[in-house]
């Protein structure tokens, strides 16, 4: 089977760092590169193989670095290029590879390309972006921005509009222009020559726009339509070109952030023949708790649909493309709060159970900073505590139209807002959780006295030590990486059970999503089998067992 081909990036565990919130070395309240350098031994101790670093390039920070004004310079708040080189060296010395965030669907409006582009209609950079005339005194089409409002901004210099699928300070690059592709590929080669080990590609599924930029379907009551700019007509062609011009020249790990990706599309982006990317982030399991106003709701993901979606991706990509496994990142709420139960009585068991459920699947697992501590969502008391442009814009849009009350909206932001993942990393129980000696740029989660790295590193029963074991296990057990997945108990109301098989090894993974005890009959073939890992006190498992709330248990047997 093709995906059984051994690759380092299949065997790796990736750790995502959101630099603004990881560690501040100079007391300005903002995390930085020297802060990361000072914590590399922590990452080594955890055992991760790869760091994915969210953007550290020069940026006016309208969207915390996802709006880049210079791709080849480091954001001043984060340090200098020398700091970067030292950090990269420090990672490599510890056997950790570095994957950089590549944000090339758009630039900042302060990028020199855009400054040129907006200056006149005949500027050589004009076609680096999408400029269109207004229609009847309105925007050129009905597309909405992912961050609320229209996707078009009027610019009086030339009396035309430019496209921005995200904030108006993030104009979309025109990938149909060969000069844009050439400049991006040359910038990527420059980073590769520096010795980085890969790219996580921001909204790469959105780079190719439908010719003519046609209106989208407008739903009743909505002011703007979905642009439909995902998996556009030339996206695969452009990625294959990128692969030829850049990726194939180095030994890299590449992962495309592909909102709106279907299984069929994922098979193209991440095809085992390696013509495009190694893997994609798909978002189907991230949308199961959406409601009428998208993510702004208090709906929760139910086990049935979660299991069905995860299983579909597990089985349908098998042998054809490779999965990325994640339950959280800098855009999502904390996984233990969202998919589990962060009440003190359950939090630790639940964080360990979710980690087991994810890391035992086929694909490359991602740990988002603090997830290895079981960090939770943050109680935000008012809009002034929110820093995220998406949440702030959505608050104004949905409350001013009367669609959602301010109280409900704050509650939804508390459940689903991106800032939940962006509160400072909780290092210890000293002031500001040991993140900064200054004033943190965003609220510190008040639970840092109980939940922090210093305490967990000392406690063998902690979430941190459990992650350590899980990561170490992956190095020893090829079946965790390459085994094929098969769902068991598809109708169970509280258990997610599956097997992994790579002859002669077979694993049975049992995860309870219930806050009460659940009885389960271990299948005969696994009765009495070795316990590989589990979050309970159990030393053996045979016949009928009573699972504790949120128990996880992995059994291993040898086939004859
Ligand atoms: O996110 C892409 C994306 O689709 C987001 O709109 C995401 O769905 C949303 O944040 C979830 O609510 C990427 C980055 O990860 C994000 O941080 C950036 O803001 C965005 O692109 C623009 O660069």
Tens of pLDDT, residue by residue, the chain (560 residues)? 444 799 999 999 999 999 999 999 999 999 999 999 999 999 999 999 999 999 999 999 999 999 999 999 999 999 999 999 999 999 999 999 999 999 999 999 999 999 999 999 999 999 999 999 999 999 999 999 999 999 999 999 999 999 999 999 999 999 999 999 999 999 999 999 999 999 999 999 999 999 999 999 999 888 999 999 999 999 999 999 999 999 999 999 999 999 999 999 999 999 989 999 999 999 999 999 999 999 999 999 999 999 999 999 999 999 999 999 999 999 999 999 999 999 999 999 999 999 999 999 999 999 999 999 999 999 999 999 999 999 999 999 999 999 999 999 999 999 999 999 999 999 999 999 999 999 999 999 999 999 999 999 999 999 999 999 999 999 999 999 999 999 999 999 999 999 999 999 999 999 999 999 999 999 999 999 999 999 999 999 999 999 999 999 999 999 97
Q: Look at ligand 1, atom 11, and give the residue with the nearest C-alpha.
A: 331
How many other C-beta atoms are found inside a 10 Å radius of the C-beta of residue 203?
22
Separation of CA 14 and ligand 1 centre (Å):
19
> Would you say the CB of residue 259 lies under 6 angstroms from ligand 1?
yes
Can you give the pLDDT at residue 180?
99
Least Cα distance to 325 among 555, 480, 473, 94 occurs for 480
374/479 Cα distance (integer angstroms): 26
Q: Look at ligand 1, atom 2, and give the residue with the nearest C-alpha.
A: 203
HSE (side-chain half, CA atoms, 13 Å) at 537: 1
Ligand 1 atom at minimum distance from 103 CA: 23
Ligand 1 atom at minimum distance from 106 CA: 23
> Would you say the CB of residue 146 lies under 6 angstroms from ligand 1?
yes
Cα angle 346, 456, 516 (rounded to 5 degrees) comes to: 10
Measured between its terminal Cα atoms, the distance across the chain in Å is 21
> Would you say the CB of residue 103 lies under 6 angstroms from ligand 1?
yes
Ligand 1 atom at minimum distance from 283 CA: 8
Regarding beta strands 57-58 and 70-74, do their DSSP bridges make them parallel or antiparallel, or are they unpaired? antiparallel
Separation of CA 257 and ligand 1 centre (Å):
9
Which residues does residue 534 pair with via DSSP β-bridges, in sequence order? 553
Per the CB < 8 A criterion, the answer to whether 64 and 57 are in contact is: no
Q: Look at ligand 1, atom 6, and give the residue with the nearest C-alpha.
A: 146
Identify which of 57, 295, 296, 331 to mutate to test ligand 1's pocket (most ligand atoms within 8 A of the CB): 331
Q: Give every CB contact of residue 437 below 8 A, 6+ residues apart in sequence.
A: 24, 27, 431
> Would you say the CB of residue 390 lies under 6 angstroms from ligand 1?
yes
Separation of CA 187 and ligand 1 centre (Å):
22
Q: Give every CB contact of residue 173 below 8 A, 6+ residues apart in sequence.
A: 104, 105, 106, 107, 113, 128, 129, 180, 184, 207
Least Cα distance to 366 among 440, 421, 312, 293 occurs for 421
Can you give the pLDDT at residue 1?
47
Q: Look at ligand 1, atom 14, and give the residue with the nearest C-alpha.
A: 202
480/493 Cα distance (integer angstroms): 25
Decide: helix, strand or coil at residue 388. coil
Can you give the pLDDT at residue 2?
44
Separation of CA 177 and ligand 1 centre (Å):
24
Cα angle 138, 159, 394 (rounded to 5 degrees) comes to: 50
232/66 Cα distance (integer angstroms): 21
Q: Look at ligand 1, atom 23, and give the residue with the nearest C-alpha.
A: 66
550/346 Cα distance (integer angstroms): 7
Q: Give every CB contact of residue 107 below 8 A, 6+ residues apart in sequence.
A: 67, 68, 69, 113, 114, 170, 171, 173
How many other C-beta atoms are found inside a 10 Å radius of the C-beta of residue 537?
8
71/333 Cα distance (integer angstroms): 28
Can you give the pLDDT at residue 387?
98
Q: Look at ligand 1, atom 20, and give the residue with the nearest C-alpha.
A: 66
Catalytic residues: 202, 257
> Would you say the CB of residue 331 lies under 6 angstroms from ligand 1?
yes
Q: Considering the entire predicted model, what is its pTM?
A: 0.98
Can you give the pLDDT at residue 419?
98
Separation of CA 373 and ligand 1 centre (Å):
24
């Amino acid at each position: 089977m093709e995906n059984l081909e051994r690759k380092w990036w299949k065997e790796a565990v990736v750790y995502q760092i959101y630099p603004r919130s990881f560690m501040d070395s100079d007391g300005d309240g903002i995390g930085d590169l020297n802060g990361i350098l000072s914590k590399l031994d922590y990452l080594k101790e955890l055992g991760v193989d790869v760091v994915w670093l969210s953007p550290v390039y020069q940026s006016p920070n309208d969207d915390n670095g996802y709006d880049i004004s210079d791709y080849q310079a480091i954001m001043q708040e984060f340090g200098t290029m020398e700091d970067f080189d030292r950090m990269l060296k420090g990672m490599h010395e510890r056997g950790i590879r570095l994957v950089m965030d590549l944000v090339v669907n758009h630039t900042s409006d302060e990028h020199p390309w855009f400054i040129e582009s907006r200056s006149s209609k005949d500027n050589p950079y004009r076609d680096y972006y999408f400029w269109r005339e207004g229609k009847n005194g309105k925007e050129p089409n009905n597309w909405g921005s992912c961050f609320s409002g229209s996707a078009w901004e009027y610019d009086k210099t030339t009396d035309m509009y430019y496209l921005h699928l995200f904030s108006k300070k993030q104009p979309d690059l025109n990938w149909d222009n060969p000069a844009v592709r050439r400049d991006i590929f040359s910038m990527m080669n420059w980073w590769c020559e520096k010795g980085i080990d890969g790219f996580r590609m921001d909204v790469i599924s959105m780079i190719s726009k439908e010719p003519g930029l046609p209106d989208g379907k407008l739903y009743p009551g909505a002011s703007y339509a979905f642009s439909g700019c995902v998996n556009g007509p030339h996206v695969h062609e452009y990625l294959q070109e990128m692969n030829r011009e850049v990726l194939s020249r180095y030994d890299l790990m590449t992962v495309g952030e592909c909102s709106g990706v279907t299984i069929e599309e994922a098979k193209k982006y991440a095809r085992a023949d390696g013509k495009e990317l190694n893997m994609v982030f798909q978002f189907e399991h991230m949308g199961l708790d959406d409601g009428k106003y998208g993510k702004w709701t208090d709906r929760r993901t139910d086990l049935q649909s979660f299991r069905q979606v995860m299983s579909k991706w597990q089985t349908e990509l098998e042998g054809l493309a490779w999965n990325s496994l994640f339950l959280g990142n800098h855009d999502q709420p904390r996984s233990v709060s969202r998919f589990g139960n962060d009440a003190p009585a359950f939090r630790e068991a639940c964080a360990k159970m979710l980690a087991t459920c994810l890391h035992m699947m086929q694909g490359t697992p991602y740990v988002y900073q603090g997830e290895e501590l079981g960090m939770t969502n943050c109680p935000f008391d008012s809009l002034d505590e929110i820093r995220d442009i998406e949440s702030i814009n959505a608050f104004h849009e949905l409350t001013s139209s009367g669609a959602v009350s301010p109280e409900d909206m704050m509650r939804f932001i508390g459940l689903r807002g991106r800032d939940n993942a962006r509160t400072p990393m909780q290092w210890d129980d000293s002031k500001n959780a040991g993140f900064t000696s200054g004033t943190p740029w965003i609220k510190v989660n008040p639970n840092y006295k109980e939940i922090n790295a210093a305490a967990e590193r000392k406690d063998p029963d902690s979430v941190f030590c459990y992650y350590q074991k899980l990561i170490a296990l992956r190095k020893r057990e090829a079946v965790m990486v390459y085994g094929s997945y098969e769902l068991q108990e598809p109708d169970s109301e509280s258990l997610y059970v599956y097997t992994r098989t790579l002859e002669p090894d077979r694993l049975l993974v049992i995860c309870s999503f219930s806050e009460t005890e659940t009885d389960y009959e271990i299948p005969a073939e696994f009765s009495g089998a070795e316990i590989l890992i589990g979050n309970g006190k159990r030393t053996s498992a045979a016949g009928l067992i009573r699972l504790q709330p949120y128990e996880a248990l992995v059994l291993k047997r040898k086939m004859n």
